[in-house]
Structures are given as structure tokens and as C-alpha cells.
A and B are shown apart, each in its own frame.
Chain A
Amino acid sequence: MWDKKEGKDVAPGSFATGTGYASTGQSLPSSGGNSRLVNIGQTIFIKGELTGTEDLTIEGRVEGKIELKDHNLTIGPNGKIKADVYAKSIVITGEVLGNAFASERVEITNSGVLKGDITSPRIVIADGAQFKGSVDMDKGAANRESRPAQRPDQIKPIQPVKDETPAYKNVMPQPVHGNSAEKAR
């Protein structure tokens, strides 16, 4: 009754959104989304630009560029990617050499390797993950990267941002004076 997903899984048009032929390996229905999950197998090597409109799991090798607008990308434990990656959500369990742009979330698991910059509003990095690069949590930046620039008449003026105090500031202890600081020299 409360699970709204039930009504979504079998939407008639859901399997028509992607061709499914751009990818190889086995195709599996997704767990509850409105698009199916496609797998690129371990023995597959793709060089070039990979685009699609469905969720994708990569266990093989890809060099070039990967762009899955509004869909989830999973780099499996055997996946080796040498490309910039654009998706709604990116989960890295394998190895990625390139920048990751996500409109929703980037996750690097403890066995994941990312050598490149992350641009995403949400980031999850497990302890022990290998990551070398910068983190930019600018919301919408990922979209700007993959979409054409706006015409001048479409650009809205920047609204002043309300000054938000980070939570840490509220609990930050006051400096300790007197005996507390023992100078090294």
C-alpha cells in the first residue's frame, strides 16, 4: 500500500527508452526503476564515446567518454575506465582514470579507485578507497558540463545566497589559553 515503487516497475514504455544494443553482455531488469540495467561484460573493450539512456554496469574496459544522462552508472570490481564519466549517479567499485560528473551522487567503494576530479552535489567515499583528485560539490555543475551553454536571454540573474553557518561552527570550542598550548620550540 505504501510502496509507490510497485506501480512503477512495469510501466509499458519503460523498456523502450533504450535500445539495449549499444551494450553487450547480459541484460537484466532493474530492481525498481523505470529503465533496465545493462551490463558490459569483463571481456569487452570499448574505445570511443559511450552514450545511453538506461542504467549501465561496466565490468569491462572503456576508453573515451561515457555519458548516461539521468541514469545510473556502476563500474564493477573488474571495470577499468579511462574516460570522463557523466551520469546521474556513479558508483565506482573498479578503476576509473578520468573525471566523474554526476548530477546526483558519486560513490567510491572501499575497493574503488578514482584518479580524477569529482563534480557532484553528493559524494560518498568509503574508507580505504583510492582517490586522487579534487572534489567540487557545486550543484548543477555536472549538468552544465554535459549540456550546451544557455543563450544569454535564458540566463537568470544570480540571486544573493543566504549566508549559512556550517554546523561545525556552532560546536567549535573556544581557544584554550594559558597552560594548554605547549609550544614545540
Chain B
Amino acid sequence: MFKRRVPDLPGPQTGAAGGAGPVLQTSHALPRLARRLSASPHARVLDLGSVVGGNLQFFIDLGCKVTADDQQRPVETASLTSSGVTGADWKGHPRLDYASDSFEAVLVWDFFDFLGPQEARSFSRDLHRVVKAGGIVMAYFTSRETERREPSRRFRITAADKIEWIPLGAARPLRHVYQNRDIERMFEGFRTHFAVVLQNGSREILLEKKRPLAAASDGAKSSPSA
């Protein structure tokens, strides 16, 4: 009756010491996202992760128009060019140079793990701006302190419900661990559409941008003067 979520491939587990090889994880959020996108014709998807051709192709096959913007490049470069534990924060301020309400979905992957609270808040506001009402943000968040030293990863979609997590380099850029309440505060203007804790401890979350009507009614309830 109860279904355990275990990695499909045998291999090094991603523990605190950090597994070396890629691990295939079952994704419960991706099929939901895919169903939603395939229902809306010509949906626009923004992929903020490392560029992986197969990921773009997956969404193109769903009929989406895909935009790639590798925001994680500095983290990836640092991971590939250094070793040991590096600084916690992503240096700089990530920005999305896109018009407001441009995308039906944004794939953030685990980028927020590398952002400090201030940058994360500012970046989530930027996300809120570029996502259409009812649009979805897909993100992973590390949930255990012991996984703060997990290497940065590249994510490759291998099937409709399978994502390969590929560790990059020898460096261990320290990750931030955000609690659920931090995420809720960070993503003001979004609601949690779906969330699940994976076997490796990461949380896989779909956040939906509130629609204007719902947002307006929420606002009216909380503060009638506003």
C-alpha cells in the first residue's frame, strides 16, 4: 500500500560525504508539470539550470517554446575548477531579463540552495514577475543539514518521470537549507501546488503563482483597506 521512493539505479547514495556517480531519481513533480503544460498550447518554459539538450527537447516535444538561461553557470564553474568546500553564497545578484508574465513554467532546479536569504528573496520576486498567473515554478530544496556539502548538480530528464542527478566536480559549494516556512515567505505570491520529500532528503516542489482574482480576494480578506 505504501510506496517507498527509492532511486531506481543502484549506485552511490548521496549522503553527507557525497556520492560520486549520477543517480536516477523518480520525479513526482515533473509528470504533473508536463500534464499541465501539454494542456496549454504554446506554453513558454524557462530553464534556469545547466543546459542539457534532452531537457529542452522534452519540453519542445510537449509543444512548448523553451528558453534556456543558465543561471547556475557560476556555481558550476566554481565546482569544476576548484576542490574542497567553497563559499556558501552565489556571488552576485541573479537577474531575469524578461518581460513580465512571460512564462507558464520556470525550472529552477536546486539553484535556491546556493542563494543567501537576501538574494533568494530578491530572485523569487523576479520569478514572480516573469511567471504568468497560474504558472508553475519547479524547484528542489535541500532539507537536511548533513546534505549541505552535496556537490552542485546537473539535472537530466531521461523519461517523463525520471530525472538523472549528475554531480559536478570535486568542489562542495555549501548549500543553504531553507525550512518550509522560509520557502513560503520567500515565495510570497505563490502557493504550493505540490511538494514531496525524495529519498535523498531533497524536497521537490511545484509552486504556482496565484491568479489575480484569488490574490485580490486573499488581499481583501486580510486587509480590507488595502
**Partner-B contacts on A (CB < 8 A):** 108, 123-137, 166-169, 171-173, 175-176, 179-185
Tell me, yes or no, whether B171 is within 8 Å of chain A by CB: no
B53 pairs with A185, CB closer than 8 A: no
A180 pairs with B28, CB closer than 8 A: yes
A134 pairs with B67, CB closer than 8 A: yes
Which of chain A's residues have a CB closer than 8 A to the CB of B203? 184
Interface residues of B in 55-73 (CB under 8 A from A): 56-58, 60-63, 65-70, 73
Tell me, yes or no, whether B17 is within 8 Å of chain A by CB: no
A182 pairs with B196, CB closer than 8 A: yes
**Partner-A contacts on B (CB < 8 A):** 1-3, 28, 31-32, 34-35, 38, 50-53, 56-58, 60-63, 65-70, 73, 154, 156, 159-161, 180-181, 183-184, 192, 194-197, 203, 205
Docked complex Cα distance between A135 and B3 (Å)? 38
Q: From B57, B67, B70, give the contact of A130 (CB < 8 A).
A: B70
B197 pairs with A182, CB closer than 8 A: yes
A173 pairs with B68, CB closer than 8 A: no
Asked whether A185 and B184 contact (CB < 8 A) given A133-B68, A135-B66, the answer is: yes
Docked complex Cα distance between A19 and B142 (Å)? 60
Which of chain B's residues have a CB closer than 8 A to the CB of A132? 68-70
Which of chain B's residues have a CB closer than 8 A to the CB of A126? 53
Q: How many A-B residue pairs have CB under 8 A?
A: 95
Docked complex Cα distance between A128 and B79 (Å)? 13
Which of chain B's residues have a CB closer than 8 A to the CB of A167? 61
Query: Shortest Cβ distance from A38 into chain B, in angstroms?
Result: 28
Which of chain A's residues have a CB closer than 8 A to the CB of B66? 134-135
List 8 interface pairs A-B (beta carbons < 8 Å), by A numbering: A123-B57, A132-B70, A135-B60, A135-B65, A135-B67, A168-B61, A182-B195, A184-B195
B61 pairs with A127, CB closer than 8 A: no
Cβ-closest 9 pairs across A and B: A184-B195, A125-B53, A134-B67, A168-B160, A184-B180, A131-B51, A166-B61, A135-B66, A172-B160
Q: From A130, A137, A172, A185, give the contact of B180 (CB < 8 A).
A: A185
Asked whether A128 and B51 contact (CB < 8 A) given A172-B160, A184-B205, the answer is: yes
Q: Chain A residue with minimal CB distance to B183?
A: A184
A131 pairs with B68, CB closer than 8 A: yes
A172 pairs with B31, CB closer than 8 A: yes
B62 pairs with A166, CB closer than 8 A: yes
Q: Chain B residue with minimal CB distance to A132?
A: B69
Q: Which of B53, B66, B154 has the most CB of A within 10 A?
A: B53
Which of chain B's residues have a CB closer than 8 A to the CB of A127? 50-53, 154, 156
